[in-house]
Chain A
Amino acid sequence: MFLSLLQNGSQLPENPEMTTASWIFIGAAWTFVIGLVVWCFVKVIWGERST
C-alpha cells in the first residue's frame, strides 16, 4: 500500500557528493549495524561456551 507514493519524476540530484553530513550519517549507521552484529554474535558465542 505504501509503494510508489512519491514517484512523480526524478527527485535525485544530478551531481550528488558525499558531504560531511553524509559521512557522519553513513558512519553512524554502519557503526550501529556492524557493532550490533558483532556484539550479538560475541554474546551468543560467549553464552554457548559458558553453558
Chain B
Amino acid sequence: MSTTDYAPPPDRERWGSRLGLILAMAGNAVGLGNFLRFPNQAVQNGQGSFMVAYFISLLLLGIPLMWMEWGIGRRGGHFGYSTAPGMFQSLTRMRWVKYIGALGVVMPLLIVIYYVYIESWTLGYAVQSATGTLTGQDTGAHFNNYLGGSGGFLGEAGWQGTSTAYGFFAITIAVNLWVLSRGLSKGIEVIAKIGMPILLLCAIALVARVLTLPEVDGRSAMDGLALYWQPDWQRLFSGDAAAIWLAAAGQIFFTLSVGSGAINTYASYLTRDDDIVLTGLATVSTNEFCEVILGGTLAIPAAFVFLGSQGVWEASSGNMGLAFITMPQIFAQTTVFGMEPGPASVQMLGTLWFGLLFVAGITSSLALSQPTMAFFEDTLGFTRRKAAVIVGLIILLCVQPVILLNGVLDEIDYWAGTFGLVLFSTVEVVLFMWVFGSDRAWAEIHHGSELRVPRIFKFIMTWVTPLVLIGMLCWWGSTTALPILMFEEDPNGAVYSELSRSNAQLARGLMLALFAFFALLVFVASRRGRFRSLETIEEDA
C-alpha cells in the first residue's frame, strides 16, 4: 500500500535551493554549543576519553538520529505537516501520539526563550568590542555589570537590571522575528547564505591567530590542544566512564540539534523526491568541522597559552565565563598585525569573536523558533506575520523570569535543552523504527537518495540507537532523577537555596503550563480535523 500518492498542499513553503537548505540546516546545528559548550565539556568530562566517546556517539547516535529526523520531517511535510504532532500522527494509528508530538513544538520554544537572551549578550559584546567599550580589563566585573549582577535582575540584593542588556535583547528578538516573518526562502535561507560564510571566515581568522600565538612561559597553543587530544582508552571503562559517555552523547544531541524538533520542521519543506541521505550528511559534516576543528582550536588552546592548565580548568567550569570573561582578557594580551596588545586588539579580536558567536546564535535561534511558527501557520491556519507576532509575544512573556530570576535559565536548559532532547529522540526513534517499522523507515530514508546508507546502519537505527537512548533514560531515572524531581538537588548536584528552589518551581510550572497550552491547541486542531492518522492516509491512498 503506497502512501506516496497523496498530494501535498500546493501553497506549501519550499527551500529556494539545495545549498540554501544545507547552509540553513548547518546554521541550525552550528551554534553557541560548537564554540562554547563543546570545549568546556571536553575539558571538564574526561578530555581525551571524552573525544573517543564523542566520535563513537556521533556514529551510533548522532548520524542515525539525524537521518531519522530528516525522514520523519520530509514524510510529514509530504502530508502537509511541519511539526511533530502531525508528523507523529501520520506514522501510526494511535491517535494519542500527537499529544506527545506537542513536545516537538514546546521544547524548541523553551530553548529559544533562553537562547535568544544569551544570543543578545553576544550582540551586545560584539557592539561593545567594535566601539571600544570593552577594554579587556576586569572583564569579570564588566560581565557582572552587563547582566546586572550574577543573580538575575531581581536578585537577593533587589533590582539590579540594566537597560544595556535589556536593550540588546529587544534588538535581538526583533531581528529574529523580522527574519521569521519574511518566511523560509526570503528570510531564514538568506540569513544562512550570508551568515554561514561570515561565521566560517571569522572562525578561520581566529583559529589562525590562536595557532600562531607565541609561547608564554613555555606554553604553546599546540600544547593546549594536547589537553583533550591525548587518547585515554582506560578511562572509558573506569568508574567514571558512565559520566564521560553521557556527557559525550549529550554534546552530540546538543550540537546536531537532534531531539528538538527543529530538524523535522526544516526537513518538512523538502519535496518528496529530494535527497536526504547525502544532504543530511553534508550538514552533519559541516557542523563537525565547525565544532571539532574550529571550536576545538579556539578558546581552550588560547586560554592555555595565557592562563595554563589551572586557568583553563577554572575558565571552563562555567559555560559563559570562558566566552565573556576569559576571552576578552586573552584578546587584551594578544598582538594583532604587529600592533601592541591592548584596546585595539580587544576591539579587533573581540568583534570577530562575539560577531562569530552572534551569527552562530541567530541561525540556531531562527531554526528553534520555526517549529512554533509552523505550528501556528499550518495547524491553526494563522498567517506568517500573525504567527511571528504570537511567537514574539510568547517569548517576550516567558523570557521575563529568565532575565529577572536567578536559576530559571539553568532549570529550563536542563529540562528542555538536555533531558528533553534525549526524551524526544527516544520517542521519535521508537515511533519511526519500531512502530512505523524498520523496513518502511529504511525505505522512507532512501526515497530519492543519492547515496546508499551502509546496511549496518539499519541494525544500528533499529536496535543500538533506541536501546542506548532507553538505557540513558533508565540510568538517569535510577541515579539522579529523584533528588532533582523532589527539589533536593539542582541539575548540577548542588543543594537549592530557599530562593533558588522557588525560582526552580516557577520555571517548572512555566514549562508545564506551556506544554499544557500546546497540548490543548493540538486538541483544538484535532477537533477541526487537521490531523490525519496513518489509517486515514492509507485509506485515502
Residues of A within 8 A of B (CB): 1-7, 10-19, 21-22, 25-26, 29-30, 32-34, 36-37, 39-41, 43-44, 47-48
Q: Which residues of A contact B247 (CB under 8 A)?
A: 2-3, 5-6
Binding-face segment, B96-104, B257-265, B285-293: B285-293
Q: Are A30 and B226 in contact (CB under 8 A)?
A: no
Among candidates A14, A30, A43, residue contacting B451 with C-beta atoms closer than 8 Å: A43
CB-based contact A6/B43 at 8 Å: no
CA gap between A17 and B48 in the complex, in Å: 13
Q: Are A1 and B288 in contact (CB under 8 A)?
A: no
A29 CB contacts on chain B under 8 angstroms: 51, 55, 229, 292
Whether B491 sits at the interface, judged by CB under 8 Å, is yes
- Which stretch in B6-14, B217-225, B342-350 binds the other chain? B217-225
A39 to B285 CA separation, bound complex (whole angstroms): 10
A22, A43, A48 — most chain B CB neighbours (10 Å)? A22
- Tell whether A11 pairs with B229 under 8 Å between CB atoms, given A1-B418, A43-B278: no
Bound complex: CA of A19 vs CA of B230, how far in Å? 8
Kindly report which residue of chain A lies nearest to residue B245, judged by CB atoms.
Answer: A2
Count, chain B residues at interface, CB 8 A: 59
Partner of B226 from the list A7, A22, A48 (CB cut-off 8 Å) is A22
B48 and A25: CB pair below 8 A?
yes
Q: Which residues of B contact A33 (CB under 8 A)?
A: 285, 288-289, 292-293
Is the CB–CB distance between A2 and B246 below 8 Å? yes
Q: By the criterion CB–CB under 8 Å, are A7 and B289 in contact?
A: no
Q: Which of B46, B224, B314, B451 contacts A16 (CB 8 A)?
A: B224
- The answer, among A2, A25, A26, A34, for a CB contact under 8 Å with B250, is A2
21 CB < 8 A contacts A-B: A1-B422, A2-B250, A3-B414, A6-B247, A7-B44, A7-B317, A16-B223, A16-B230, A18-B223, A22-B230, A25-B48, A25-B229, A25-B230, A26-B225, A33-B285, A33-B288, A33-B289, A34-B289, A36-B284, A43-B450, A44-B22
The residue from A6, A18, A41 contacting B229, defined by CB atoms under 8 A apart: A18
Most chain B Cβ neighbours within 10 Å, of A25, A33, A34: A33
Let me know if B236 is at the binding interface, CB within 8 A: no
B186 interface residue per 8 A CB criterion: no
In the complex, are the beta carbons of A3 and B282 less than 8 A apart? no
* CB < 8 Å neighbour of B288 from A16, A36, A43: A36
Residue of A13, A22, A44 near B18 (CB, 8 A) is: A44
Could you tell me the distance between the alpha carbons of A7 and B284 in the complex, rounded to whole angstroms?
29
How many Å lie between the Cα of A34 and that of B285 in the bound state?
8
Query: In the complex, which of the residues B22, B289, B308 has the most CB atoms of chain A within 10 Å of its own CB atom?
Result: B289
Question: Are A5 and B278 in contact, CB atoms less than 8 angstroms apart?
Answer: no
Partner of B227, one of A2, A12, A39: A12
- Shortest B288–chain A CB gap in Å is 5
- In addition to A14-B308, A25-B230, A47-B275, 4 A-B residue pairs with Cβ atoms within 8 Å of each other are A3-B418, A16-B230, A29-B292, A30-B292
Q: Is the CB of A22 within 8 A of B418?
A: no
Instruction: Judge whether B492 is part of the interface by a CB distance below 8 angstroms.
Output: yes
List residues 104-121 of chain B with CB under 8 A from any CB of chain A: none
Note all chain A residues with C-beta closer than 8 A to B476. 1
A11 with B230: in contact, given A2-B418, A40-B285, A47-B450 (CB under 8 Å)?
no
B419 within 8 A of A: yes
CA gap between A10 and B308 in the complex, in Å = 12
Measured CB to CB, the nearest residue on chain B to A4 is B492
Beta-carbon contact of B231 and A21 below 8 Å:
yes
Q: List chain B residues, Cβ under 8 A from A16.
A: 223-224, 226-227, 230, 304, 309
The 4 A-B residue pairs whose C-beta atoms are closest, nearest first, are A5-B243, A40-B282, A2-B250, A10-B313
- Residues from chain A with a CB closer than 8 A to the CB of B492 are 3-4
Complex Cα distance, B304 from A13, in Å, reads 11
Are A10 and B285 in contact, CB atoms less than 8 angstroms apart? Answer: no
B-side contacts of A47, CB under 8 Å: 275, 278, 450
Q: How far is the CB of A13 from chain B (nearest CB, A)?
A: 6
Known A16-B309, A30-B292; judge A25-B231 contact (CB<8 A): yes
Chain B residue at smallest Cβ distance from A29? B292
Please state if B293 and A1 are interface contacts (CB–CB under 8 Å): no
Min C-beta distance of A23 to chain B, whole Å: 8
B235 to chain A, nearest CB (A): 10
Query: Which chain A positions have C-beta within 8 A of B288?
Result: 33, 36-37
Partner of A48, one of B18, B229, B243, B422: B18
List the A side residues contacting B312 at CB < 8 Å.
12
Which single member of B41, B230, B309, B419 contacts A21 (CB below 8 Å)? B230
